[in-house]
């Protein structure tokens, strides 16, 4: 029996520069601990780098998936039947929906380092959420996956 792959899956990984910043946090900790000797300095380098890397990794581990009849975006799991039209947002339009067009009731899966997004209407009358704003590097592909699974 072969398991079918999810029609869409994306991990919103942190940019490469964040890993450099993680190392620089470790260097900063090493410099702070330098007056206490070599061993504390090395511990600060290793510990500071590790803590910053874990923070960057956990922030960048969020996933967006379309699996079966559900959209899973971070911690949220939404049935596709409760979703309406999907609008692909370019960088300028995504910025507008993150700022002055934003509705405080909306569900935002926001990663500022990803310039494009998808806005999906929520059609469930029981849900006060008007739409989902999903940062994604491939908004057209996600919109297509939602259309394909909704029509299936």
What is the reported pLDDT for 6?
59
Within a 10 A sphere around the Cβ of 14, how many other Cβ atoms?
A: 19
**Is 64 a member of any domain?**
no
**Is 111 a member of any domain?**
yes
What is the reported pLDDT for 3?
45
Kindly report, residue by residue over 25-76, the tens digit of the pLDDT. 999 999 999 999 999 999 999 999 999 999 999 988 899 999 888 999 989 9
Kindly report, residue by residue over 92-136, the tens digit of the pLDDT. 999 999 999 999 999 999 998 999 999 999 999 898 999 999 999
**Is 68 a member of any domain?**
no
Task: Name the residue among 88, 82, 87, 109 with its Cα closest to residue 98.
Answer: 109
On the question of pLDDT at 2 being above 50, the answer is: no
**Is 71 a member of any domain?**
no
Distance between the two ends of the chain, CA-based, in angstroms? 21
> Do 12 and 41 share a domain, yes or no?
yes
| CA–CA distance, 77 with 40 (Å, rounded to integer) | 45
Domain residues for the domain of 25 are 8-59
On the question of pLDDT at 152 being above 70, the answer is: no
**Is 66 a member of any domain?**
no
On the question of pLDDT at 82 being above 80, the answer is: yes
Structurally, the chain folds into a number of domains equal to: 2
| CA–CA distance, 10 with 4 (Å, rounded to integer) | 16
> Do 99 and 133 share a domain, yes or no?
yes
Residues 6+ apart with CB under 8 A from 146: 8, 66, 71, 80, 83, 86, 120
């Amino acid at each position: 029996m072969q398991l079918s792959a999810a029609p869409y899956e994306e991990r919103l990984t942190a940019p490469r520069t964040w890993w450099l910043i993680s190392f620089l946090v470790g260097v900063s900790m090493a410099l702070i601990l330098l007056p206490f000797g070599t061993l504390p300095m090395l511990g600060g380098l290793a510990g500071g780098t590790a803590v910053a890397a874990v923070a960057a990794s956990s922030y960048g581990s969020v996933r967006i998936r379309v699996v079966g009849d559900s959209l899973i975006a971070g911690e949220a799991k939404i049935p596709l039947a409760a979703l309406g039209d999907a609008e692909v947002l370019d960088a300028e339009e995504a910025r507008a929906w993150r700022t002055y067009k934003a509705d405080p009731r909306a569900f935002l899966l926001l990663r500022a380092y990803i310039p494009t997004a998808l806005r999906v209407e929520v059609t469930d009358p029981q849900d006060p959420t008007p739409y989902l704003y999903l940062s994604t590097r491939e908004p057209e592909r996600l919109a297509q996956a939602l259309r394909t699974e909704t029509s299936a």
